[in-house]
Amino acid sequence: MMALDPEYLKSLEKCRFEECLRKLDAIVREMESGNVPLEDMIARFEEGSAIASICHRKLNSLKQKIEQLQPGKETAAPNGQDNPQTNN
């Protein structure tokens, strides 16, 4: 199995989330088509896995930024839903 090009991975890190998601969707569609030789399928799977990891990191980063913009929201859920003892 061939390792992904580090420069390609760096370029993906710089892409917007939506662009990475489009690339991942294209890989999934290509793999689902059944027209990809097994060796290529493995390489596409490896690439898709790397893109999925990048998307996950980007989502976590964006979530943290949103939480920073909304102080107090992450610790206090409405109606005490964050504390199961108050929901009896």
pLDDT of residue 37: 93
Task: Report if residue 27 sits inside a domain.
Answer: yes
For residue 57, give its domain range.
16-72
Per residue in 5-23, pLDDT (tens digit) is: 889 889 989 999 999 999 9
Q: What is the Cα–Cα distance from 48 to 42, expressed in whole angstroms?
A: 10
Q: What is the Cα–Cα distance from 37 to 28, expressed in whole angstroms?
A: 14
In terms of pTM, does the model score above 0.85?
no
Q: What is the Cα–Cα distance from 39 to 2, expressed in whole angstroms?
A: 10
Task: Report if residue 67 sits inside a domain.
Answer: yes
Beta strands in the chain (DSSP E): none
* Total tally of structural domains belonging to the chain: 1
pLDDT of residue 87: 47
Which residues of the chain, if any, have pLDDT below 50?
Answer: 1, 76, 83, 86-88
pLDDT of residue 70: 87
Task: Report if residue 11 sits inside a domain.
Answer: no
C-alpha distances (whole Å) from 28 to each of 9, 17, 22, 84 are 18, 17, 10, 39
Task: Report if residue 26 sits inside a domain.
Answer: yes
**Of 22, 29, 83, 80, nearest in space to 54 by CA:** 22
pLDDT of residue 88: 43
